[in-house]
Chains A and B, each alone.
Chain A
Amino acid sequence: MKEVKPTVFVVDDDAAVRDSLRMLLKSVGLPVEVYESGQEFLDADRDDRPGCLVLDIRMPGMSGLELQVKLNERHSILPIIFITGHGDVPMAVEAMQAGAVDFIQKPFRDQDLLDRINQALDKDAGSRRMLAERNMIRKRLESLTPREREVLDLVVAGKANKVIAGDLNLSQRTVEIHRARVMEKMEAHSLAHLVRMVLEVERPED
């Protein structure tokens, strides 16, 4: 899997704030992209990239909160750090409830922001690893034949080979062969591992 370097995306309508953030992030060697409105960021279609979003909560037109809603609709997992002013606590609370990782009041100490950014990047990396794993599991599941899939479902449901053979009207031997193929295709080390992988992707989402 090729490693894409995480990027810090900054969305702020204030040119000076935007530019100073760009410079700060550049000074610590973090790749940074700046956008002056939520719409511009959406149009750039970068929200599936690894990284995090540093977002001004107050902006004319699309506010930071509105951008967050739009990103949630797109199932973006990009962690968001909101920049808030004085008296924006209610908005910050709303943002956190909608899934933001953090918020920081301006003016802020650079280290505070950088710490939050690093945490957000870690979180993003973790999420992406998990997503990648789920995708991998899904690919493996897709490689199963319909019959193998049937056997898998019954195995995960905790049924013994004999019962499965009865249910599917197969010989117990045939079930054993299918089951071995499933373990192989799913790259499962053990039955427990197999069950965990299936539950991981079949867990109801959203």
Chain B
Amino acid sequence: MKHTRTAKGWKPSGAARARSKGERDFRALLDAAVDAIVVIDHQGTIEEFSLGAQRVFGYAADEMIGANVHVLMPEPHRSEHDGYLARYHATRKAHIIGIGREVVARRKDGSLFPCEIAIGQVVEEEPPRFVGFIRDITRRKEAEEQLRRSEAELRLAQELANLGNYVVHVDHAEPDYYSPQLFRILDIPLGSAHISRGDYYERWVHPADQARVIEAFSHLDSLGAPLDIEYQIVLQDGRLRHLHHIAQAVQDASGRVVKHVGTIHDVTDRRHAEDEARQLQERLTHFSRLSTMGEMAAGLAHEINQPLSAIATYAQACQRFLRQPEPDVEEVRAALEQINTQALRAGEVIRRLRNFVKNREVKREAVDCSRLLDDLRTLAETDARLHNIRLRIDAEEGLPTVYADPIQLQQVVLNLVRNAIDAMADAAEDQREVVLMTRRSADSEVEVTVADHGSGLAPEATEHLFNPFFTTKAGGTGLGLAISKSIVRAHGGRLWHTPNADSGARFHFTLPVSPPTQGNDE
């Protein structure tokens, strides 16, 4: 082994050949070290500059041997370093020697980097010499920064999503973990101690939901079934929060459950948004009713016009009879009776119209199906007549009462009838019939069917049929079926469609029969 690497390695302070074994060992050590090793004398002059140092700082050993070590430092240390040394010599009070710290160092190209530095003093030498070990910690710093950032991002994400997560070790092999947001959701100080299941049920879970939550957890424990449940908690100050809680068991290699990981999502705001959406939907229902009204206005004008023109004609006939020398009193009496009847008929149309349009709270009551159909008849027939279509009502006798909002149900039926009518715009004369059927379909259900002989449903239309704003009609809002479906659902029923036997479509919906106790409510 020759020691001629003066340019790259260390500069022999004496003749290379004269080096002792100890010195050779020292230099080998110096070069083998990954960290930068720099030896300086008491004035800061560099005596040794290891391979590691050359790598880290970018200087060749030649450049640095004999130079002042402060070139490796950024300001203000660069200017101050000689002072530090002088102070040490004067006071022998170590600020860094034997202590080590993280500092910033300067490369040959002027760039700065974080490093860990440890400085030792060569023993029993006067004036003293110092050995510095410098470790570039750029990567570690970056990794730390990265970790810190992802943690901050996760925290922020959890905060934004109002999502907390936790890991609970079944046999307490490791400490449990609760994310900060979890504490915030539960409204307890950050880092509160272990929360036991029992505590959780007792202290947070809404009494009405406790049984459900306990059952879900027992399924998680006994069957390993993932827990996925929404429930309410009550905070210390009495506020209610809606949580969506998901958890699952994690097994070790042998299949033993070692921990539960879970997330708790505060969905209160979403729930509120859903409530708002529901209210909005009710307003929309009203709006759609109004627009249905607009479409029916012509038909209703006709409906009111009928009794009015009958009244006018009867009255005029009466006058003519009475002008005759021997008036036919019987005819006059019959006409007057009809005038009365027709006036009431017009009033009835207006009453139904007003009931239909009025915006109102949803009010469920026990509804007699046949009475509901009677009320519907005028409105539906008007619509049908307007389009030269027969409306056939086929109601099973003795239907049970249903528990429903009668006006909303009228809305659904009218909407289906209207769709059926629209579907038959081009149907042949003998086909122009809409059938409105009511049947008891199951013990606890009444099924209403609206059948037409129209153009039927295109397969691509059936897919989106119930989507809001989907429409196949030129002037359609695309809300009718979407609203109808949500109304039926809200009543605990279903709304679906089937092709009609020969042509056209059938829309069906079911309504649960009202419980017997509610049968006599009225």
Q: For window 274-300 of chain B, which residues contact chain A by CB distance below 8 Å?
A: 298
Are B331 and A110 in contact (CB-based, < 8 A)?
no
Binds B, one of A41-49, A56-64, A157-165, A193-201: A56-64
Pick the contact of A16: B307, B316, B385, B429 (CB < 8 A). B307
Q: Known contacts A20-B317, A20-B338, A87-B298; is A59 also within 8 Å of B388 by CB? A: yes
Are A107 and B302 in contact (CB-based, < 8 A)?
no
A105 to chain B, nearest CB (A): 9
A2 within 8 A of B: no
| B308 cross-chain contacts in A, Cβ below 8 A | 106-107
Are B301 and A27 in contact (CB-based, < 8 A)?
no
In the assembled complex, the Cα of A170 lies from the Cα of B345 at a distance in Å of: 81
Q: Known contacts A86-B302, A108-B312; is A59 also within 8 Å of B317 by CB? A: no
B411 within 8 A of A: no
Are A110 and B302 in contact (CB-based, < 8 A)?
no
B462 to chain A, nearest CB (A): 29
Are A87 and B321 in contact (CB-based, < 8 A)?
no
In the assembled complex, the Cα of A20 lies from the Cα of B311 at a distance in Å of: 8
Pick the contact of B429: A20, A66, A109 (CB < 8 A). A66
Are B314 and A108 in contact (CB-based, < 8 A)?
no
Are A24 and B313 in contact (CB-based, < 8 A)?
yes
Pick the contact of A17: B306, B335, B386, B389 (CB < 8 A). B306
In the assembled complex, the Cα of A26 lies from the Cα of B334 at a distance in Å of: 13
Q: Mark B142-160, 1 if CB is under 8 A from A, else 0.
A: 0000000000000000000
Pick the contact of B313: A13, A17, A59, A87 (CB < 8 A). A17
Of all chain A residues, the one with the shortest Cβ separation from B310 is A16
Are A24 and B385 in contact (CB-based, < 8 A)?
no
> What is the size, in residues, of chain A's interface with B at 8 Å between Cβ atoms?
27
A1 within 8 A of B: no
| B334 cross-chain contacts in A, Cβ below 8 A | 23
| B386 cross-chain contacts in A, Cβ below 8 A | 58
In the assembled complex, the Cα of A28 lies from the Cα of B328 at a distance in Å of: 12
B441 within 8 A of A: no
In the assembled complex, the Cα of A59 lies from the Cα of B320 at a distance in Å of: 29
B353 to chain A, nearest CB (A): 16
Are A27 and B321 in contact (CB-based, < 8 A)?
yes
In the assembled complex, the Cα of A102 lies from the Cα of B376 at a distance in Å of: 35
A85 within 8 A of B: yes
Q: Known contacts A16-B306, A60-B391, A61-B390; is A109 also within 8 Å of B316 by CB? A: yes
In the assembled complex, the Cα of A109 lies from the Cα of B319 at a distance in Å of: 12
Residue of B308, B310, B324, B331 with most partner-chain A CB within 10 A: B310
Are B310 and A61 in contact (CB-based, < 8 A)?
no
Are A23 and B313 in contact (CB-based, < 8 A)?
yes
| A110 cross-chain contacts in B, Cβ below 8 A | 312-313, 316-317, 320
Mostly helix, strand, loop or mixed at chain A's interface?
loop
B237 to chain A, nearest CB (A): 62
Pick the contact of B305: A23, A106, A109 (CB < 8 A). A106
B413 within 8 A of A: no
Of all chain B residues, the one with the shortest Cβ separation from A20 is B313
Of all chain B residues, the one with the shortest Cβ separation from A65 is B388
A133 within 8 A of B: no
A179 to chain B, nearest CB (A): 54
| A61 cross-chain contacts in B, Cβ below 8 A | 388, 390, 429, 432
Q: Known contacts A17-B313, A61-B432, A86-B298; is A27 also within 8 Å of B331 by CB? A: yes
Are A58 and B385 in contact (CB-based, < 8 A)?
yes
A48 to chain B, nearest CB (A): 23
Residue of B335, B381, B388 with most partner-chain A CB within 10 A: B388
B319 to chain A, nearest CB (A): 8
B181 to chain A, nearest CB (A): 63
In the assembled complex, the Cα of A24 lies from the Cα of B317 at a distance in Å of: 4
Pick the contact of A85: B301, B312, B335, B390 (CB < 8 A). B301
| B385 cross-chain contacts in A, Cβ below 8 A | 13, 58-60
| B432 cross-chain contacts in A, Cβ below 8 A | 61
Of all chain A residues, the one with the shortest Cβ separation from B385 is A60
Q: Mark B42-65, 1 if CB is under 8 A from A, else 0.
A: 000000000000000000000000
Of all chain A residues, the one with the shortest Cβ separation from B391 is A60
| B388 cross-chain contacts in A, Cβ below 8 A | 58-63, 66
| B320 cross-chain contacts in A, Cβ below 8 A | 24, 27-28, 110
Are B317 and A27 in contact (CB-based, < 8 A)?
yes
B342 within 8 A of A: yes
B37 within 8 A of A: no
A40 within 8 A of B: no
B384 within 8 A of A: yes
Q: Known contacts A87-B301, A107-B305; is A17 also within 8 Å of B331 by CB? A: no
| B429 cross-chain contacts in A, Cβ below 8 A | 61-62, 66
Of all chain B residues, the one with the shortest Cβ separation from A58 is B385
In the assembled complex, the Cα of A63 lies from the Cα of B307 at a distance in Å of: 19
In the assembled complex, the Cα of A27 lies from the Cα of B341 at a distance in Å of: 21
A93 to chain B, nearest CB (A): 17
A14 within 8 A of B: yes
Residue of A27, A59, A66 with most partner-chain B CB within 10 A: A27
Are A108 and B309 in contact (CB-based, < 8 A)?
yes
| A20 cross-chain contacts in B, Cβ below 8 A | 309-314, 317, 335, 338
Residue of B298, B341, B345, B385 with most partner-chain A CB within 10 A: B385
In the assembled complex, the Cα of A62 lies from the Cα of B430 at a distance in Å of: 9
Of all chain A residues, the one with the shortest Cβ separation from B306 is A14
In the assembled complex, the Cα of A106 lies from the Cα of B306 at a distance in Å of: 8
Q: Mark A22-36, 1 if CB is under 8 A from B, else 0.
A: 011011100000000
Are A107 and B389 in contact (CB-based, < 8 A)?
no
Q: For window 50-73 of chain A, which residues contact chain B by CB distance below 8 Å?
A: 58-63, 66
| A66 cross-chain contacts in B, Cβ below 8 A | 388, 429
Of all chain B residues, the one with the shortest Cβ separation from A17 is B310
Q: Mark A90-116, 1 if CB is under 8 A from B, else 0.
A: 000000000000000011111000000
Please name 14 pairs of A and B residues whose Cβ atoms are closer than 8 Å in the assembled complex, sorted by A. A14-B310, A17-B306, A20-B335, A23-B313, A23-B334, A24-B317, A58-B302, A61-B429, A61-B432, A86-B301, A106-B308, A106-B309, A107-B312, A110-B313
List the interface of chain A (C-beta within 8 A of B): 13-14, 16-17, 19-21, 23-24, 26-28, 58-63, 66, 85-87, 106-110
18 new A-B contacts at CB < 8 Å, known A17-B313, A59-B388, A107-B309: A13-B385, A16-B338, A19-B310, A20-B310, A20-B311, A20-B338, A24-B320, A27-B317, A58-B302, A58-B388, A66-B429, A86-B298, A87-B298, A87-B301, A106-B305, A107-B305, A107-B312, A109-B316
